């Protein structure tokens, strides 16, 4: 077991279980003196899937079972309450319909204009364990990852398949044998999907075909000693990712060069570029992972300004 607060980086092998950062005082603080991040929102249990959409930050909370959106001044609105289901990745169809990953039932849900929720796609035949993050392209094709093993019970990591959900809800395997496919991005021209493999310590790229299928699999970047989680693409073609194995966010270029690393007040699990000009990096943090965080409201969203603005999807 890794001691709380200790950051472990083993080149070529990821420490398991993942380390847990020391819990940060949830009392609202304008700025963390150690990291320089501004606190945008407090009171999360475990946030996931941040998205900048229609001038607001949207995110899921696993253990509050809700999807929220937050205005620029930090005012939070509940968009959806899923009762006992855990929401994760978020995205939108071309007509504006909200898609939500239902983790434990291994589904993609859709929210109608009247607030009703229905099953858009059933992934139980593809997902080996809980589903997690998702990215949706301009045509409405959704690419959905899954754990591949029982993470919360510290199971043995195993390969997982990436699911492709078409706009009509039909499902197929998009790519096989990924090591915990997680946060993913699509380039601005819609031609390339880049998938973070949390247990593989790398980003893997695919060419997106006219029908949404994937081909030309290649390594986009190796990131040894990290556990890439939620991520976001910038206008220079680099990726910011939350390193679930340490309290930090990392900026990596194609080929694996680490351009920036910034310590965060707690372990970081997701990030997203947004704001009025796309230059604000939103980072979701938590004092730990798993059901121990349920009901704690000890997680937060933090912000910092960066040089290169948001690009691509999500």
Tens place of pLDDT per residue across the chain (314 aa): 222 222 333 333 343 334 333 333 333 445 665 568 999 999 999 999 999 999 999 999 999 999 999 999 999 999 999 999 999 999 999 999 999 999 999 999 999 989 999 999 999 999 987 999 999 999 999 999 997 655 565 656 768 999 999 999 999 999 999 998 999 999 999 999 999 999 999 999 999 999 999 999 999 999 999 999 999 999 999 999 999 999 999 999 999 999 999 999 999 999 999 999 999 999 999 987 777 777 788 899 999 999 999 999 99
| Whole-number Å distance between alpha carbons of 60 and 45 | 10
Sorted by where each starts, the structural domains of the chain and their CATH numbers stand as 38-305 (2.120.10.30)
> Which residues lie below 8 Å from residue 237, measured CB to CB, with a gap of 6+?
187, 253, 254, 311
d(CA 166, CA 124): 16
The 8-class DSSP code of residue 31 comes to B
Q: What gap in Å lies between CA 87 and CA 190, rounded to an integer? A: 26
**By the 8 A CB rule, do 161 and 143 touch?**
no
Count of beta carbons in the 10 Å neighbourhood of residue 67: 24
And the tokens for 226? 């990290």
* pLDDT (0 to 100) of residue 8: 30
What is the spatial distance between Cα 180 and Cα 244, in angstroms, rounded to a whole number?
13
Spatial CA neighbour of 180 closest among 195, 164, 165: 195
């Amino acid at each position: 077991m890794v001691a709380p607060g200790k950051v472990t980086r083993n080149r070529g092998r990821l420490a398991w279980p993942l380390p847990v950062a020391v819990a940060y005082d949830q009392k609202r603080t304008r700025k963390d003196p150690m990291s320089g991040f501004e606190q945008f929102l407090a009171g999360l249990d475990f946030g996931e899937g941040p998205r900048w959409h229609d001038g607001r930050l949207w995110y899921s909370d696993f253990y509050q079972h809700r999807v929220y959106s937050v205005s620029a001044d930090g005012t939070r609105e509940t968009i959806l309450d899923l009762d006992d289901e855990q929401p994760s990745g978020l995205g939108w169809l071309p007509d504006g319909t909200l898609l939500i990953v239902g983790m434990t039932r291994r589904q993609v849900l859709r929210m109608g204009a009247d607030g009703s929720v229905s099953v858009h796609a059933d992934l139980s035949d593809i997902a080996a364990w809980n589903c997690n993050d998702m990215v949706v392209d301009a045509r409405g094709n959704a690419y959905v990852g899954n754990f591949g093993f029982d993470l919360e019970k510290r199971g043995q990591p195993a390969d997982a398949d990436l699911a492709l959900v078409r706009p009509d809800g039909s499902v197929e395997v998009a790519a096989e044998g990924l090591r915990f496919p997680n946060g993913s991005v699509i380039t601005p021209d819609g031609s390339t999907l880049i998938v973070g493999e949390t247990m593989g310590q790398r980003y893997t790229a695919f060419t997106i075909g006219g029908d949404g299928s994937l081909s030309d699999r290649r390594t986009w970047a190796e990131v040894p000693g990290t556990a890439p989680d939620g991520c976001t693409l910038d206008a220079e073609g680099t990726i910011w990712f939350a390193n679930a194995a340490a309290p930090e966010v990392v900026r990596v270029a194609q080929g694996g060069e680490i351009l920036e690393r910034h310590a965060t007040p707690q372990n970081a699990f997701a990030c997203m570029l947004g704001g009025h000009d796309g230059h604000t990096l939103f980072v979701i943090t938590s004092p730990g992972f798993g059901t121990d965080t349920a009901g704690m409201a000890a997680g937060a969203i933090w912000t910092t300004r960066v040089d290169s603005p948001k690009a691509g999807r999500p």
